[in-house]
Structure 1
Amino acid sequence: MGRVEPSLLDSLTADPGLQRTAAEALERDGDRAPLALRKAGVDPALAAAALTLADLRRHARGKFGDLAERLYFTRAGLEQATRWPVARRRAARFAAAAHEVTDLCCGLGTEALAFAEAGLAVAAVDLSDATAAYARANAAATGLRVDVRVGDALEAPLAEAVFADPARRSGAGRRFDPADYSPPLDALLDRLAGARFAAVKLGPGIGHEWIPAGAEAEWVSVDRDVVEACLWLGDAAEVPRRASLLKAGEWHELTGSGEERAETGAVAEYLYEPDGAVIRAGLVAELARDLEAHTASERIAYLYGDRLTATPFARAWRVEEVWPLHPKKLKALLAERGIGRLTIKQRGTGLDPAALRRQLKLNGAGEATLVATRIGESHAALLCSEV
């Protein structure tokens, strides 16, 4: 079950004791938890709802930390919900520019909670009565003031600042074409064209062709996982492109035009793999300049430099050897060096790392990283050690 029906949601919000009992039963009894609740005299439908909530809260800890234990979720809503540190950071940017915000397509209302926590007056709008009920429950659970309304994002009145998170899921799964979002992204951007300060959250795979002229496009990663993109519109647009990385609880930003191209050259002593947010934002050239590095192929986002420079925006390896990308030769070379534990990375070769691993039949005590990539127009294998 991925959703608690509204009538049962009301019953759950009114019974914190049942919520605790369900969470304890799920932790203690696992698959037998429903039987434990039924033996305790809990109505089967309500027991199922309480256990669904407990399971969703358990999965939500990675996004919301301890706050997850107070919130109400649906499975689809949790999948689309913004990670709490990301939502709080965005809310701070809004609070520095406005006093009130309209949160369109508010879903479970978690982004609205971050806005309210930042001191903004929040009107949260969702098309679904059932989903709006979750947003109200979450506002009540946290004690934050959010005015939740049912309405169409394309017609709802707008405050001086606007945030939108169009639905990217349907009964058939994720929607990868922005024209299939709910509401469609092009219609939503038309609606926000006159907004003074606005932002639209999108999936990280959004194509650059969807970025309006004059907008800022930001990609966000959390501990190397690219989690979302965001279009900043109107006065909110500060730079053409931004990569924002949260690592070990600290934020780092790289900005630029997104149109520069890094210089190309030979493989050097160190290989850098830029964070996915840097790559998606088109800021590899800006990072290359900071690292005094270059690419070995204009189409591949690996960087090479003769000096090791610490950076939050890339992982680094020392290049030990450069070999032809030929499985039989690689097998012999790795065997000679006694390498039995091998991390295989590839970019630009079409190689299947799992298939290559089977061909190599590794056996040894050594450990290394093998990077399959392009040098100019040729394929190559780089034996590396991470630094």
Structure 2
Amino acid sequence: MDMAELTALLTPDGLRLLDETPAVGSADDVARTVSRLRAAGHSPDLVSAVVGQARLRARAKTKFGDFASRMLFTRAGLEQATRLSIAAAHAGRFQDAGIRHVFDLGCGIGGDALGLAALGMTVDAVDADEVTAAIAAYNLAPFGEDVRVRHARAEDEVADLGSAAPEATAVWLDPARRTAGHSETSRTRPEDWSPSLEWAFDLAARVPAGIKLGPGLDRALIPDDVEAQWVSVDGSTLELILWSGALARDGVRRAALVFRGKTVNEIRAAEDSPDEPARELGAFLHEPDGAVIRARLIGDVARSLEAGMLDPQIAYLTSDAALTSPFVQSFRVREELPTDAKALARALRERGIGTLEIKKRGVDVDPAALRTKLKLRGDESATLLLTRVGTTRRAILADRV
């Protein structure tokens, strides 16, 4: 979205038209809605803004639920925004630490600030992009004077914030590579980020801070004196948060926060946990959550399951005990099958398996291409786990527990 579109939208008539426009999903919906609004005499800028927002609001329901229908977005801002459930969990940490005032630096569309403000904290939010800052101001307007949003660089906003920071003050940082209008935002190259990672770490050493980063950040970059918490939702590892000062928990340096449906679980430790030794395939196979793998806490989970590694280099656990954990997906092993595609297809047909979930670790297999070769048919369903032990490929037929 550019400033002309935003200006056209942020009027009583523009916002009313947006609220009256139904959700836009498919390309056909877009074409029909554009044609209808242009025929009604609305300007090209307003039509583009309304249709774009109607489409983004439909996508945003997975992150913001019913709140999405009252918010504005940029495409990249929505992609990078923290889910409301996660933002609420982060805000709870600020509250538990006694924080009353938070500087949200790189606020994007305001997703994290929503969680902080909802718990009664004063929030100063800034974003270096003018359009994005204006959208955040709109989204956070219901909180009144408790939330102030400005178009500014993070580095300028807190230039004087340091060891003399007022008590109960903290910062929330979201370093990323940003372009105008947030048409592109990424966290893949730290050297391109704004604010820079070096600047963020320096500030976090002086002021309690939470720094939101991509989950694949090189672990060698993580300072020794922070708590690193990886976060996953329904099996997808979404972010890494580095907590410093009063926001870091005593004795915790590694944590995995796992959201599954409506349940939330966390495992934490003072350091990376040592893995359990490898053992032969048992009655159960367990796939650790991605956040657990990133946090290198597989060993702690293995011990809770009385499990061992299937292979020292592969993140699969195996056990005989019928124990489950919120930090793994568990499968009851049926049997091992041939790894050759033709022999595997024949074995699956003999067992009448027509619905097959295919999972893989440590092998170069395209599940979609393999599924085509298998030519499945039958009424039974199962899970096929493809992996290796040493240099030997394994195909394990199992059922989800």
CA deviation after TM superposition for structure 1 residue 129, in Å: 2.3
2-side partners of 1:175 and 1:340: how far apart?
A: 40
CA deviation after TM superposition for structure 1 residue 277, in Å: 1.2
Specify the alignment match of 1:164 in structure 2: 173
1:298-377 correspondence runs (5 A): 298-377=312-391
* SS, match of residue 267 in structure 1: coil
**Paired amino acid for 1:106:** C
* SS, match of residue 33 in structure 1: helix
1-side partners of 2:356 and 2:174: how far apart?
A: 41
Deviations 1:164-201 (A, max 9, x none): 01224546663412222222223321232211x11101
Specify the alignment match of 2:147 in structure 1: 146
**Paired amino acid for 1:181:** W
User: Is residue 33 of structure 1 aligned with residue 8 of structure 2?
Assistant: no
Specify the alignment match of 1:193 in structure 2: 205
Most deviating of 2-11 and 243-252: 2-11
CA deviation after TM superposition for structure 1 residue 294, in Å: 0.8
Specify the alignment match of 1:240 in structure 2: 253
CA deviation after TM superposition for structure 1 residue 14, in Å: 6.2
1:1-387 correspondence runs (5 A): 5-11=5-11, 15-23=14-22, 30-97=30-97, 98-141=99-142, 143=144, 145-157=146-158, 158=161, 160-170=169-179, 174-195=186-207, 197-238=208-249, 239-256=252-269, 257-387=271-401
Deviations 1:270-307 (A, max 9, x none): 01111111111111111101111111111111111111
Task: Go from structure 1 to structure 2 and tell me whether the alpha carbon gap of 1:113 and 1:361 turns closer, same or farther (over 3 Å shift).
Answer: closer
**Paired amino acid for 1:211:** I
CA deviation after TM superposition for structure 1 residue 324, in Å: 4.5
Task: Go from structure 1 to structure 2 and tell me whether the alpha carbon gap of 1:291 and 1:375 turns closer, same or farther (over 3 Å shift).
Answer: same
Note the aligned Cα RMSD (angstroms): 2.4
Deviations 1:5-46 (A, max 9, x none): 4422432x6654212222378899652112222333323321
* SS, match of residue 330 in structure 1: helix
TM-score, length basis structure 2: 0.89
Task: Go from structure 1 to structure 2 and tell me whether the alpha carbon gap of 1:335 and 1:47 turns closer, same or farther (over 3 Å shift).
Answer: closer
TM-score, length basis structure 1: 0.92
Gaps (5+ residues) in structure 1? none
* SS, match of residue 377 in structure 2: coil
2-side partners of 1:231 and 1:328: how far apart?
A: 48
Gaps (5+ residues) in structure 2? none
1-side partners of 2:346 and 2:319: how far apart?
A: 28
**Paired amino acid for 1:280:** R
Most deviating of 36-45 and 120-129: 36-45
1-side partners of 2:18 and 2:129: how far apart?
A: 25
**Paired amino acid for 2:253:** P
2-side partners of 1:303 and 1:3: how far apart?
A: 52
CA deviation after TM superposition for structure 1 residue 321, in Å: 1.1
CA deviation after TM superposition for structure 1 residue 266, in Å: 0.8
* SS, match of residue 21 in structure 2: helix
Task: Go from structure 1 to structure 2 and tell me whether the alpha carbon gap of 1:271 and 1:144 turns closer, same or farther (over 3 Å shift).
Answer: farther
1-side partners of 2:280 and 2:2: how far apart?
A: 52
Alpha-carbon contact 1:347-1:373 (below 8 Å) kept = yes
Most deviating of 325-334 and 23-32: 23-32
2-side partners of 1:77 and 1:272: how far apart?
A: 35
1-side partners of 2:378 and 2:352: how far apart?
A: 4
Alpha-carbon contact 1:216-1:241 (below 8 Å) kept = yes
Alpha-carbon contact 1:70-1:141 (below 8 Å) kept = no
**Paired amino acid for 1:244:** L
* SS, match of residue 311 in structure 1: coil
2-side partners of 1:308 and 1:84: how far apart?
A: 35
Deviations 1:113-167 (A, max 9, x none): 2111111111112222222211211122565731112322223224521100122
Alpha-carbon contact 1:154-1:188 (below 8 Å) kept = no
1-side partners of 2:10 and 2:106: how far apart?
A: 22
Deviations 1:197-248 (A, max 9, x none): 1110111222212211121111111222222111111232221111111222
Q: How many residues align?
A: 385
